Amino acid sequence: MSQKPKVAFVCVHNSCRSQIAEALGKLLASDVFDSYSAGTETKPQINQDAVRLMKQLYGVDMEQTQRSKLLRELPPVDIVITMGCNVSCPSLPCRYREDWGLDDPTGKDDECFLEVIRSIEEKIYELKRGVENRVL
């Protein structure tokens, strides 16, 4: 069996959307790919609304297993998913790249967060199918 592809979820601060994607990737698709996240800048902590909602929805405490990281801390990756930075999205060498175009819910209400989390969950499943079917 060949090695699982490594997927990097990337956005500028690596504190919210990319962290949610890393957590959901690990939870929902770790049998198919390895999930990482990073940014061009870091924050001292993961977005607290994201942490709270991920605990409520999935029982996942992102603060226990994840932290805000810089791109240079990533291993070489096969797939790069950018979250929709609306600024210069960081570039990493990879064999496949996709932008999910998600709005940053930071500072917004829970409904905005839940919408983003649901979108990420859906996209994780799509990505998983793509990898399983060797489309990506």
Looking up residue 24, the CATH number of its domain turns out to be 3.40.50.2300
Closest CA to 53 of 126, 104, 113: 113
Helix %, strand %, coil % of the chain (to 5): 40, 15, 45
pLDDT tens for residues 62-79? 999 999 999 999 999 999
pLDDT tens for residues 31-42? 999 999 999 889
Number of domains, the chain: 1
Domain that holds residue 52: 7-128
CB 14 within 8 A of CB 22: no
Is residue 119 situated within a structural domain?
Answer: yes
Mean pLDDT over 49-66 rounds to 97
CA–CA dist 28, 81 (Å, integer):
16
Is residue 136 situated within a structural domain?
Answer: no
